A and B are shown apart, each in its own frame.
Chain A
Amino acid sequence: MLEALWEGLLLVLQWKAFGFMLLGIGLGFWVGLLPGLGGATTLALMLPFIYTMQPVEAFAFLLGMHAVVATTGDITSVLFGLPGEATSAATVVDGYAMTKKGEAGRALGAALASSLVGAIVGAVALAAAIPVVRPLVLTFGSPELFMLAIVGLAFIASLSGEGTRGMVRGFIAAGLGLLLATVGQDPQAGVARFTFDTLYLWQGLDLVPVLVGIFAIPEIIDLFVRGNSIAGNAPPGKVAKGAWEGVKDTYRHFWLTIRCSLIGTFIGIMPGLGGSVAQWMAYGHAAQSAKTPEERKQFGQGDVRGVLGPGAANNSKEGGSLIPTVAFGVPGSTSMAILLGGFLLLGLIPGPDMLTKHVAVTYSMVWTIVIANVITVAVCFLFLDRLAGITEVKGHRLIPVILVLVYIGSYTSNSHYGDLLVTLFFGGMGYLMVRAGWARAPFVLGLVLGKIAENYLYISTARYDAAWLTRPVVLVLIAIALAVIAYPFFQARRRG
C-alpha cells in the first residue's frame, strides 16, 4: 500500500497533472464562491474538455475543481449569509452570526482551517478504507440507510431551540420539512403529490432556491433596516484581525473538528444519503458539545464551533463519497455522478479494479484532494483580511449585489421563474422564523431527509417485510438514534 501511495503522489506531482490541478482549483474557487454556479453543473460542462487528457491529468483537473468548491462555498456563507453551495448552508447559521459581531476574519479562518482538516481526514479515510471499503458499503443496505436517515433526523432534537418549547418548535419545523419533501411525483405509485396542477412542482422542491431564500433573505431584510454595514454593530478594527484566531479555534476544539470530519466522511461513504445531510449532523453534534445552557444558547448567535463542525464535515464528505463512486460505480451525489461519467470517458471502470489494478490512480485522487485544499486555504489566507473587509462596507452598497446573487443563484437550478417565487416564499417563512425565534436547521434537515427516509422505508419493508428491524446494524443505529435524541435531556438533567 505504501508503494501505491508514493506512486499516487508522484503521479500528481508531474508537471502537466499539477498544472491542470491548478487550473481546476482556479475554476473551483469561483464555482464554490458564487451561488448558482453549482459544482455539479460546472463539472458537467467541463467533461468535454477532458477527452484528450490522460486519466491522471483529467482527475487532477476535475478533482482539483471539485475539492475546492466545498471550501470556498463556506466563504460566501460566512460573509453574506448566503449559501455558496447547498452543502455550505449550515455554515451560515453561526458563521454569518459571527460576521455580524465583527468576527468575520475569525469565522473565515475557522471555516477554512476546519475545511482543510476535514479534507485531510476525508482523504486519509479514503486511502485507509480502500482495503475494507467493499464489505463496509455492502453491509449498509436499505434498512441501514433508512435508520441512518432516522439518526440524522434525531439530530433535530439537538438543533432545536432551548427547552421543551424549543423542542416542540423544532419538531414542527422538521415535520414541515418532511412534508414538503413529499411534493412531487412519488416513486411508488406515480401519484403527483401536492403539485397543485403545476408542471413546475412535478419533480418536487429544489433545495437551492429554498436554502437561498430561507437563509439569505431574512439577513438582507435585517441589513436593510439596520442601514449600517454587515459588521455594523461591532467595535471597529476587530474585523480583519481574526483569521489567525479562527485557526487557533480549530486547534482549541481539535477533537470536535476531527469527530465532525469523521461524521462527514462516514455519511459521504453511504451512497444515497445525498450531499447536504452531513453538514447538519455535524452542526448538531457540535451543538451537543456545549456544556451549559448558556453555552448552548450561543449556537446560532456566533459560536465558532458552529462553523468548525459543518466546515469540516462538508469537506470530509467529499473524500468519503469518492469511495462508493470509485469502488462500486455508485455515485453519492450529482457531482459524483458526473465524475463517474468522467471515469468511464477515460476508460476507468469503477469497481474492484480501481482498488487493485489501478489503485495508484485512486491514491492520486487522494493526494489531489489534500494538495488542492492546502493550496486553496493558503491562497485564501493571503487575502482573507481583504475579504473580511467587505463586511465593513456600507450595507446598502452590498444589498443589490447580494440580491442579484440570490436571484441568479436560485434561477440556475431549473432556469424557471418558479424558483424565484420559491425563494421569496421561503424567504418570507425564514423571516417569520427568525422573528419568532424558531430554529431553521430542523426544517432543512427534514426537507433533505424526507425523500430518503420514505424511499428506504418502502424498499426495506417491501423486501424484508418486518424482519429488517432485527438486523444487527439496524439495532445499533436505533440505539444511536435514541441516544442522540436523549442527549440534550440528559445534559439538562445533569446540569439542573
Chain B
Amino acid sequence: MNRRQLLAAIGLAAVAPLALAQSFSGKTVTIIVGYKPGGGYDATARMLARHLPKHIPGRPAVIVQNMPGANSVIAANHLYNVAKPDGLTIGTFNRNLPIAQLTGVEGVKYDITKFAWIGSAANESTILAIRADLPYKTFEELRKAKEQVVIGSTGPGANTHDFPLLLKDLLGVNLKIVSGYSSSADIMLAVERKEVDGRAGSYTSLLPFIERKLVRPIVRARTTEPGIDQLPVDESFAPNPKAKAIMALRSAPEQVARPYVLPPKTPPEIVKVMREAFAKAISDPEMVAEGKKAKNELEYTPGDQAQKILVEVMNQPKDIVQEFAKYIKFGE
C-alpha cells in the first residue's frame, strides 16, 4: 500500500465514528418486541430503551414497539425479511426461536444464525423447586421417591413444562406433569394449595418463594448463577450421550436468554457500534441500580458468542434433533 492510500485509510478510520454519529443523530432506533407490553421481554426492552441513547454515538431516541403474535415468530419473520438493515431497527424475541427453527415449525421464515447478533441482555438459569415440606431434600432423594411428585406447568414450550418433562422421561424421576395453568404465578398458588408439589422455572422468578421457604430448589440446568451453584445439574445424570445432548439442547437457548438482533446483512460497523452500546449500557451503574430494583438484572453476552451457541444448536445431528422433537415442542 503506498503512502497516499495509507493516509486515505487513516483519514477514513478517523472519520468513520463521526460518520456513524452523523448517521444516528436525530434518528430514532426502534426495538421491536415479540410480545405484548407487560412481560419480561418487554420490560427488559423498555429498560434498555431508557439507557441506550447516551451510549450510541449521535444520541438517537430509542423507542419500543410491540409486535406480538405466534410466540414472537411474527416479529422474528418481520426482522428477518422486512426490516431494513440500517441499524434503526433492533429486535428481541422468544429465546426458544432456535428450537422452532430446528424442529421445523411451520411459518418460520428466518434463519436464527443469519441475524446480525448484538447479543443477549441476560442469562437465565432454570431450576426445579418442590414444596419445602416434602421429605425430599436432594435430587437423589427425589429420584428414589416412591410417591409421584406433581409438577404444575403452563404448557409445552415453556421451561415450566420442558425441564421437568426431560427429568421424567430421560432420567426416570417419578414426576407427574399437570399442564394448563395460565401463568407461573398461578402454579405457585397451586403449590400453596397443595394442588401441585412444585414447579420448574427461572431462578429469579422462584427466588421470592424460596426465600419465603415455600419451595426448595432441587436440581438445575447447565446455566448457573450465585445461589444455585451447589445444585446438581440435570445433564450429569444422563444415562447416555443422546439423553445428555437432548438436555443440553433444551437448555442452550437459556444462555441467550434475552436475544437482541439486527436484521441480516446489517453493515459490520453498525453491528459493532450496537454491541458496544449494549455492553456499555448494561454495565452503566444507573442501569444496574434500576435492574436490581426491578429484580431484572442484566448481563451482556456479546453477539459473536451468542451466534456461536446458536450455530452449535443448529448443527446438531439429525438423529438427536429427531429424538429431541419427540419430547420438546415449540410453544411459549
Residue positions of A touching B, CB distance < 8 A: 40-41, 43-45, 47-48, 51, 137-138, 141-142, 185-190, 197-200, 202-203, 271-272, 324, 328-331, 334, 337-338, 340-341, 344-345, 347, 349, 351, 414-416, 454-456, 458-459, 462-463
For A341, what are the chain B residues with a Cβ–Cβ distance below 8 Å?
A: 38, 43, 294
Interface residues of B in 150-172 (CB under 8 A from A): 150, 152, 154-157
Beyond contacts A188-B179, A272-B182, A341-B43: 9 other A-B pairs, Cβ-Cβ < 8 A, are: A41-B36, A41-B37, A45-B37, A189-B156, A203-B69, A203-B71, A330-B183, A414-B68, A416-B74
**Interface check B186, CB cutoff 8 A:** yes
In the complex, the answer to whether A338 meets B208 with C-beta atoms within 8 Å is: no
What are 12 A-B residue pairs whose CB atoms fall within 8 Å in the complex? Answer: A40-B37, A47-B43, A185-B155, A200-B74, A202-B70, A202-B107, A328-B189, A337-B38, A416-B74, A458-B179, A459-B181, A463-B178
Q: How many residues of B contact A (CB 8 A)?
A: 51
A187, B69: Cβ atoms under 8 Å? Answer: no
- Do A331 and B185 contact each other (CB < 8 Å), given the known contacts A44-B38, A200-B70, A415-B67? yes
Are B178 and A459 interface neighbours, CB within 8 A?
Answer: yes
Given contacts A188-B179, A455-B181, contact A344 B295 (CB under 8 A): yes
User: For the complex, is B248 an interface residue (Cβ under 8 Å from A)?
Assistant: no
CB distance from B35 to the nearest CB of A (A): 10
Contact A190 B156, CB 8 Å, known A330-B189, A455-B181? yes
> B249 on the interface (CB 8 Å rule)?
no
Q: Least Cβ distance of B195 to chain A in Å? A: 5
* A137 (CB) vs chain B CBs: closest residue: B189
Give B31 Cβ to nearest chain A Cβ, in Å.
14
Residues of the A chain whose Cβ atoms lie less than 8 Å from the Cβ of B157:
190
Q: Which of B37, B43, B178, B290 contacts A462 (CB 8 A)?
A: B178
**B46 within 8 Å of A (CB atoms):** yes
Query: Are B38 and A334 in contact, with the CB atoms below 8 A?
Result: yes
Which A residues are in CB contact (< 8 Å) with B192? Answer: 138, 328
In the bound complex, CA of A216 to CA of B60 (Å): 41
- B212, CB-defined interface residue at 8 Å: yes
Mask: chain B, 47-66; 1 = CB below 8 Å from A; 0 = not: 10010000000000000011
The residue on A at minimum CB distance from B49 is: A48
- B193: which A residues are within 8 A, CB to CB? 138, 141
Residues of B within 8 A of A458 (CB): 178-180
CB <8 Å contact, A190 and B331: yes
CB closest chain-A residue, reference B294? A345
- B38 & A351 in contact (Cβ 8 Å cutoff): no
Q: Are the CB atoms of A51 and B178 closer together than 8 Å?
A: no
Query: Min CB distance, B107 to chain A, in Å?
Result: 5
Taking CB atoms, residues of chain A closer than 8 Å to B106 are: 197
Are B70 and A347 in contact, with the CB atoms below 8 A?
no
The yes or no answer to B42 lying at the interface (CB within 8 A) is: yes
Q: Does B188 belong to the interface (CB within 8 Å)?
A: yes
In the complex, are the beta carbons of A185 and B331 less than 8 A apart?
A: yes
A44 CA to B331 CA, complexed, in Å: 24
Q: A48-B46, A462-B176 are in contact. Are A43 and B38 (CB under 8 A)?
A: yes
A187 touches which of B66, B154, B294 (Cβ 8 Å): B154
Q: Chain B, 205-217, contact with A by CB distance < 8 Å: what is the 0/1 string?
A: 0001000100000
Docked complex: B218-244 residues within 8 A CB-CB of A: none
A138-B192, A189-B156, A345-B293 known; A203-B176 Cβ under 8 A: no
Contacts known (A190-B157, A341-B38, A341-B43); A415 close to B68, Cβ less than 8 A: yes
Cα of A99 to Cα of B289 in the assembled complex, Å: 53
Residues of A within 8 A of B38 (CB): 40-41, 43-44, 334, 337-338, 341
Write out the residue numbers on chain B whose beta carbons fall within 8 Å of the beta carbon of A340.
185
Q: When A48-B50, A347-B293 are in contact, do A416 and B180 touch as well, CB less than 8 Å?
A: no
